[in-house]
Amino acid sequence: MPAKVLESNASKAKALWAERQAVVSTGSAAYTSVVIAKAKNAKVWDVDGKEYIDFAGGIGAVNVGHCHPKVVAAIKDQAEKLLHTSFHVAAYEPHIKLCRKLIQATPGSFGKKALLFNSGSEAIENAVKFARAFTKRRAVISFDNAFHGRTLLCLTLNSRYKPLKQHFGPFASDIYHARFPNPYRPPRGVRPEDVSDYALEELDRLFLNEVAPEDVAALVVEPVQGEGGFVVPPRGFLRALKKICESHGILFVADEVQTGFGRTAKMFAIEHEGVVPDLLVTAKSLGAGMPLSAVVGRAEVLDAAPAGAVGGTYGGNPVSCAAALAVFDIFKEEKILDAAEKVGGIVKDRFDRWAREIAVVGDSRGLGAMRAVELVADKKTKKPLPVPLVKSIVKACEEKGLLLLKAGAYDNVLRTLMPLTIAPEDLDKGLEIMEDVLASARA
């Protein structure tokens, strides 16, 4: 950026922000106005030296913390040796080793294989390709309130229209949206305890009226909806879906991009239900900040695509793979799943209390350390807190030194994706900031 812009402004962050506005597409989300210089574990510092506690965790990508020394060392070491050949041109050990690790870490004792990509969206696209190649079927089912990414097929799988889909069509064909059970917001006339049954009945209706099950290649589902506002389906729903898939030869694809790598206090959220997916998609915290994603699952499905039909220039590059191998070591050495349980318990206690005591907190929910509060204007009617108010709450947290993300169909859910390695005092301080801001919020 021009040096004089920096010199003429007391705040480097403000100058950089202005330059961002000038040169970066405004289509790219700006969840905060922070300009970051460095980060360590659950703390980040902006270019003026202001410190923040990070409850956003790179949108759930740094479950082992920012710049974990082992990850940094692995990256440095690998960068000295090999940056890139493309795995399709010349194979390399970290990639092969990582596929083995992923096969061992994912549910299912059958023969498995893996393929590595760069982003969650890319891996979801490829999971659908594998499923279609294997089943020779065309249709795919996803859910309302789902989020699977921003490429065209993923946009089609998503259900939120504005701002994600509007003006970006025409979309991919043969995608059908089923109901996802949300106990906090049941359809009119349906009791919260019946939302699963209702969703399953609606799936029957979809099979009768919109697509025959024998034409469906895959059902793609987030075990806990992420961008949709941390919606946890009632126990048994995912198991029921898996049974339906099995009875029709539909492949069950678990999108664990946000739920995976310990966020819910299991390596993968689907394990809470004992469901074994045919394909599992992982990304985000797999690479601890490096671009990396994977499809892991039944070997016969991953081998169904003809040689050369899937892949890409960069998928599973050596540096990202080295980072991911370090992540596996850290999980073992630092007992990250236990840490997630602990962090989740602390956050749950606080959020549950807020739901009882704070006027704008309508619901507290989550699984493990994937926890959220849904903000409402009225606890009885559950009318969502208007977006400008939610934004002002997030902004007030930012000003007090806490980075926080919202989510949900109404943009009224505050979600927590802090590193699972967060120091207890930082967790407490971050929660204090949230509590202060929420307690003084008025609908």
Nearer to ligand PLP, 255 or 278 (CB): 255
Report in angstroms how near the CB of residue 125 gets to ligand PLP at its nearest: 9
Report in angstroms how near the CB of residue 226 gets to ligand PLP at its nearest: 4
Give CA torsion, residues 224, 225, 230, 236, to 10 deg. -40
Nearer to ligand PLP, 245 or 292 (CB): 292
Nearer to ligand PLP, 227 or 398 (CB): 227
Report in angstroms how near the CB of residue 147 gets to ligand PLP at its nearest: 5
Nearer to ligand PLP, 213 or 223 (CB): 223
What are the CA-CA distances from residue 55 to residues 42, 77, 224, 441 (Å)? 8, 29, 18, 20
Instruction: Give the interface with ligand PLP as residue ranges (CB under 6 A).
Output: 59, 119-121, 124, 147-149, 222, 226-227, 255, 257-258, 283
Nearer to ligand PLP, 361 or 405 (CB): 405
Nearer to ligand PLP, 255 or 363 (CB): 255
Name the residue whose CB lies closest to ligand PLP: 120
Q: Are 186 and 194 in contact (CB under 8 A)?
A: yes
Nearer to ligand PLP, 153 or 265 (CB): 153
